[in-house]
Amino acid sequence: MKKLLKGLLTLGNIIGISLPSVLVISCNNTKESKEKIIHNLEIIDVKFRNSEQNIVIDKVTFKSKTNEINFKLIETKIQKEQKIAILKFEAYQENNQKLLLTFEKTIQIGLFETISFYSLIKNLKYEVSSNLTINKMTKIKPTNIADGDTFYLDELGFRFVGIDTPEKYNAKNSIQEKYGKIASLFSKKILEDADEIYVVPQRNFYSKDPHDFKDKYGRVLVIVIVKIKENFFNLNLELVRKGKAKMAYISLNKNNRYYTDNEEFFNQLQHAQNLAQKEKIGIWDTLVNINEIYP
C-alpha cells in the first residue's frame, strides 16, 4: 500500500451492496430501459484502504449479467464523512460499440469489517536469500494454508514462530473451533491478497545444530512477512495484535527450550499482545473464556 499514517493501513472487502439511489449522468433511453441496463451490473468486490487519513479505493471487481451489455468503471470517489463510495460507470452495447448511458452507483463502506495493519516495517533489515537461511528472508508461495499459524509449500511445513492460534481441526470444544476458524480465515485472507510472501527462519536453540530452524515436527519456524503494494508487514504480529493468536513458545530465558536471541521480535510480540489484551479484542474478549479457547 501507499504511505500510511502512523503505520496504519486498512484493507477491506466490500461485497456489492448498493444504496437505493442511482444517479444517471447521461442517457437517451427511457426510464425503464435505464433501470434494466443498471440492473445488469453486478458489483462483486471493492478493496479499499485508509492512507494519510483518506480512504482510497484500490480495486473494484464487477461483471455484467448479460452478454449484450458491457460496463466500464471510469471514476471512483469517496465521501469519508458519509462512509460511502461513489462509482461512476459507462454502459456500452455489446463489444463497446455504442454508449448506452453513464451513471453512478453508491456503495456504503461503513457496513463492512476491515483489516487494520499494525505492523508496518519501516526499515526492512533482513537480507534476501534464495535458500532458507536463519534471519534471512526467502520468497515463497504457499500451496496449502492449513490453519492460522501453519502453511505448506508442497510437503514442507512452515510454523509462525512465537505465536499460537486456536486449534481448528482437533478442537476440544466449539469455542476453540470457532476462534481457530477465525484465525485461519484471517491468515488465509492476508496470504492470498499479498503481492509477495517472505519467510524468515528463526533458529531452534533447543537443538544442538546451530543451523537448525525446524521444530520437532519438521516445520520451519518463521517470521512471515507479506508485501502489499510497496509496504511490508509482519503477519505474526498482526495475528497477535488482532487477538487472533497469543504469544507462545518463545522466551528470552536461555534455559527455556523456546529461547530466542531475537529480542526485538520478542518485545514487538509482547507489545502487540498487551494492546490486544487492553482493548479486549478477539481471544481476549471478556465475553469468552481464554481457557476454553486454549484448553
Q: What are phi and psi of 27, to 5 degrees?
A: -170, 140
Residue 107 contacts residue 14 (beta carbons within 8 Å): yes
Q: Is 241 a known active-site residue?
A: no
Active site residue 257: no
150-to-157, 183, 217, 290 alpha-carbon distances in Å: 7, 11, 12, 21
User: CB-based contacts of 290: which residues, under 8 Å, 6+ apart?
Assistant: 283, 284
**Vertex 154 angle, CA 223 and 240, to 5°:** 25
Q: Which residue among 49, 203, 219, 241 is the active-site one?
A: 219
- Nearest CA-CA partner of 18 in 37, 42, 34, 36: 42
DSSP string, 161-194: TTEEPPPSSS-SSHHHHHHHHHHHHHHHHHHHH-
Half-sphere exposure of 256 (CA within 13 A, CB side): 10
Choose the catalytic residue: 159, 203, 238, 241: 159
| C-alpha dist (Å) from residue 171 to 178, 180, 243, 245, 267 | 9, 8, 18, 15, 29
Catalytic residue among 49, 90, 167, 203: 167
How many angstroms separate the CA atoms of 114 and 14, rounded? 9
User: Which of 226, 236, 284 is closest to 264 using CA atoms?
Assistant: 236
Query: Catalytic site residue 159?
Result: yes
φ/ψ of residue 243, rounded to 5: 70, 25
Which residues are known catalytic residues? 159, 167, 219
